Amino acid sequence: MLGQDFSLAGARLTALGTGALWWAEKRLLCVSDLHLGKSERIARNGGAHLPPYETRDTLIRLENDLMRTGAATVICLGDSFDDLGAARGLPDEDRLWINRLQAGRRWVWIEGNHDPGPVDLGGSHLAELPLPPLTFRHIARPGRSGEVSGHYHPKVRVQTRLRGISRPAFLFDSDRVILPAYGTFTGGLRSSDEALAGLMRPEAMAIVTGQTPRILPMPRG
């Protein structure tokens, strides 16, 4: 499986190139910030009418990750829907698709700031999930250890042979890992932003997503 291995609080984890986190010992796949229904939410609020395909694209990638890992547990780490209206307006075919992905698996929806209430889908709905030695929650809390979170959509700027580009990235240190956004239409926050720089230890590392994940010191400037 193509990914970058690292350890957190004694747990051996793999950052996949798709932006999903794999915990092989627990057969657990974790994804964050799917923001399903974002194009519908933007149009509903008077914004641009974007092609309504981001939900399907996100679900295709999630299904592929589930197939190649054989995950028995899935944790969606908050902001799974762009808002409650997007959750309620999910097309029946996409709702059935999620139901098929859930079949035979433990599925946990962690509450996020975009989806604070329960949605009418299967699985468990929790504020956070302790699964020693790790704790899964949407937003990182300073001073915690063994924490897996999302929310910030971290990205880093990397230099190619032709130009610099921004890529979604995992950020991790000895206390926590912050996952990139998994959703297709999601933006990102540079790792040099004060919100992220203040959370991560000086020795923090970044794992850049893509076909071949690469690890580098977390960019701070």
SS (H, E, C) 86-129: HHHCCCHHHHHHHHHHHCCCEEEEECCCCCCCCCCCCCEEECEE
Write down all domains in the chain, each with its CATH number in brackets. 3-217 (3.60.21)
Q: How many C-beta atoms lie closer than 10 Å to residue 46's C-beta?
A: 6
Q: How many C-beta atoms lie closer than 10 Å to residue 30's C-beta?
A: 27
**DSSP track, 196-221:** HHTTS-TT-EEEE-SSS-EEEEPP--
pLDDT of residue 126: 93
Dist. CA 30–CA 137, nearest whole Å: 11
pLDDT of residue 13: 98
Dist. CA 138–CA 113, nearest whole Å: 8
pLDDT of the chain along its 221 residues, tens only? Answer: 679 999 999 999 999 999 999 999 999 999 999 988 655 554 555 555 555 677 888 999 999 999 999 999 999 998 888 666 556 777 888 889 999 999 999 999 999 886 655 567 889 999 999 999 999 999 999 989 999 999 999 999 887 767 778 899 999 999 999 999 998 767 789 999 999 999 999 999 999 999 999 999 999 87
**pTM as predicted:** 0.90
